[in-house]
Amino acid sequence: MNNIAATEGPGQIELDETDQGIIDLLRDDGRMAYRAIARELGITEATVRARVRRLEDSDTMRVVAVTDIEAAGFGMLLAIGVQVENRDPEAVARDLAAIAEVFSVNVVVGTHDIEILVVAPDSAGLNDLLSETLGRVPGVRRLTPALAVDVLKNQPDWVPFHGA
């Protein structure tokens, strides 16, 4: 799945209605042809091409691929709290970040020292991940997994962006 990240900040270009239209269409379908965008917006294909280039060159927009975890074979999504003992939490976090099934790592203040998001294909894979992989990282004292039973929002393309 392709998604568009659009940001505004210092040095960014001013977006007009045409730019916003292009961004909106590409957010819906990151592979949409310039000809189709032009037809939708009532502008020329050359204008779309020039605008997209300008948006990308100014780092205002970029098209990125986002993996659908279920399509990739992972049926389980978990948030896991990690308590650390006898080791710097940042070092443990770096080790956890190197594990393929871990896709988000945050050093936090609270009940846990680190919070991670992980995927597993099934319960057997989850058991291996927890006991054989995550549990064996030096400094990991306790893992507190929370299985996502109903994902209400997972928006990997979200950015703090407000249209023109």
Each residue's pLDDT tens digit, 33-81: 999 999 999 999 999 999 999 998 888 888 776 666 666 666 788 899 9
Q: Give the helix/strand (H/E) hosting 65.
A: strand 61-65
Specify whether domain 2-65 bears CATH 1.10.10.10: yes
Encoding tokens for residue 125? 């894979």
How much is the CA Rg of the chain, to the nearest whole Å? 21
Beta bridge partners of 63: 4
The CATH number of the domain covering residues in 76-147: 3.30.70.920
pLDDT band at 16; cut points 50, 70, 90: very high
pLDDT at residue number 107: 97
Mean pLDDT of 23-29: 87
**Which parts of 4-88 fold into alpha helices (H)?**
17-28, 34-41, 45-57
Encoding tokens for residue 121? 């294909």
Encoding tokens for residue 137? 């990282």
Give the span between the Cα atoms of 96 and 90, in whole angstroms.
Answer: 10
pLDDT at residue number 76: 82
CA torsion sign, 95 to 100 to 101 to 102?
positive
Coil, strand or helix: which one is 159? coil
Q: Where are the domains of the chain?
A: 2-65, 76-147
pLDDT at residue number 119: 86
pLDDT band at 139; cut points 50, 70, 90: very high
Q: Could you tell me which residue, 74 or 153, shows the higher pLDDT? A: 153
Q: Could you tell me which residue, 128 or 65, shows the higher pLDDT? A: 128
pLDDT at residue number 103: 85
pLDDT at residue number 21: 94
Dihedral class, residue 144 (left if φ above 0, else alpha if ψ from -120 to 50, else beta):
beta
Length of the chain: 164
Asked whether the predicted pLDDT for residue 84 surpasses 90, the reply is yes
Beta bridge partners of 106: 115
Q: Which residues fall within 8 angstroms of residue 85, CB to CB, at 6 or more apart?
A: 139, 140, 141
Asked whether the predicted pLDDT for residue 10 surpasses 50, the reply is no
Q: Give the helix/strand (H/E) hosting 96.
A: helix 89-97
Contact 139, 85 (CB under 8 A): yes
**Interval 97-110: pLDDT, tens:** 999 999 899 999 99
